[in-house]
Chains A and B, each alone.
Chain A
Amino acid sequence: MQLVRNWFNKISLDRIQLELMNTAYGSGYASLSRLDPRGLLIWYLFFAIVPWFLNSYIVLAGMCLFVIITTVLSRVTPFIILVLCLGLIGQVGWLFIISLFFGGDISSALPLLKLTLKLSIVSLASITVFSGMDPEKISDGLLALGVPAAFSFSLSYGYRILPVLFEEFRNVLLSYRLRGKAPERHGVLYWRLGAYYLKLLVYAFFPLMLATAKRSRTTVEALETRGFSYGMNNPAAKKLKLSHLKLQRRDVLFLGGSALYVALLFWTSATLN
Chain B
Amino acid sequence: MNRKTLYTLTSSQKMMIFVLSMSLYGLSNMFTELIPEFRLGPIELSVEYFAFIPLTLCMLFHPLYAAVGAALGEVIFGELMLGQFGGLGELEKFLTFSFAMYVAGRMVRNPQNRLQVGTAAITGVIIHQLCSSLVDIGKVWIGVEEFEAVPGLAQSVVIVEGVGFLNDVLFSGILFALLPTLYLVPRLYGKIEPLLGIKPRDKSTKYEAAGVISPKLVLSGIALALIAFGAESLSETDWNFGEWDSGLADRLGSGAIWLSIAAAAVVAIIVLLILRAKRTRSIQTGDESENLPYA
B interface, CB within 8 angstroms of A: 11-12, 15-20, 22-24, 26-28, 30-31, 34-36, 38, 42, 47, 50, 52-53, 56-57, 69, 72-73, 76-77, 80-89, 140, 142-147, 150-153, 155-157, 159-160, 175-176, 180, 184, 187-188, 191-192, 195-197, 241-242, 245-246, 249, 253-254, 256-258, 260-261, 275, 278-279, 282-283, 286-287, 289-290, 292, 294-295
A53 contact set on B, CB distance < 8 A? 241
Least CB distance, A142 to chain B, in whole angstroms: 11
Question: Which of B24, B85, B145 sits near A111, CB closer than 8 Å?
Answer: B145
| A202 and B150 form a contact (CB under 8 A) | no
B290 contact set on A, CB distance < 8 A? 233
| B294 and A158 form a contact (CB under 8 A) | no
B85 contact set on A, CB distance < 8 A? 123, 126-127, 130
A162 contact set on B, CB distance < 8 A? 27, 77, 81
B254 contact set on A, CB distance < 8 A? 267, 270-271
| B289 and A213 form a contact (CB under 8 A) | no
| B19 and A80 form a contact (CB under 8 A) | no
B12 contact set on A, CB distance < 8 A? 220-221, 224, 229
Question: Which of A55, A165, A270 sits near B242, CB closer than 8 Å?
Answer: A55
A105 contact set on B, CB distance < 8 A? 151
Cα distance, A98 to B155, chains bound together (Å): 9
Please indicate which of the listed interface residues B17, B28, B81, B279 has the most CB atoms of chain A within 10 Å of its own CB. Answer: B81
Name the segment of A147-155, A178-186, A244-252 touching the other chain: A147-155
| B24 and A208 form a contact (CB under 8 A) | yes
Cα distance, A104 to B152, chains bound together (Å): 6
Question: Which of B89, B150, B180 sits near A122, CB closer than 8 Å?
Answer: B89
**Known: A49-B88, A52-B142, A95-B140. Is A130-B83 also a contact (CB below 8 A)?**
yes
Cα distance, A122 to B86, chains bound together (Å): 7
| B82 and A235 form a contact (CB under 8 A) | no
Least CB distance, B280 to chain A, in whole angstroms: 10
Question: Which of A20, A209, A214 sits near B81, CB closer than 8 Å?
Answer: A20
A-B contact pairs, 10 of them (CB 8 A): A103-B152, A111-B145, A123-B84, A146-B275, A149-B294, A158-B76, A165-B23, A209-B57, A212-B23, A270-B249
| B160 and A98 form a contact (CB under 8 A) | yes
**Known: A55-B242, A108-B150, A150-B15. Is A158-B23 also a contact (CB below 8 A)?**
yes
**Known: A108-B153, A111-B150, A162-B77. Is A216-B88 also a contact (CB below 8 A)?**
no
Cα distance, A101 to B82, chains bound together (Å): 34
A103 contact set on B, CB distance < 8 A? 151-152
| A11 and B34 form a contact (CB under 8 A) | yes
Q: Closest A residue to B20 by CB, please name it.
A: A216
Least CB distance, B272 to chain A, in whole angstroms: 9
B77 contact set on A, CB distance < 8 A? 158, 162
B69 contact set on A, CB distance < 8 A? 154
B253 contact set on A, CB distance < 8 A? 270
Sample of 9 further A-B pairs with CB below 8 A, known A98-B156, A111-B150, A126-B87: A87-B84, A127-B83, A150-B15, A158-B22, A198-B175, A209-B192, A229-B294, A235-B286, A235-B287
Binary contact track A85-126/B, C-beta < 8 Å → 1, others 0: 001000000110111111111011001101100110011011
Least CB distance, B102 to chain A, in whole angstroms: 17
Least CB distance, B90 to chain A, in whole angstroms: 9
Binary contact track A193-232/B, C-beta < 8 Å → 1, others 0: 0000010011001101110111111011101100001001
Cα distance, A212 to B69, chains bound together (Å): 14
Least CB distance, A135 to chain B, in whole angstroms: 8
B159 contact set on A, CB distance < 8 A? 98
Question: Which of A101, A130, A234 sits near B80, CB closer than 8 Å?
Answer: A130
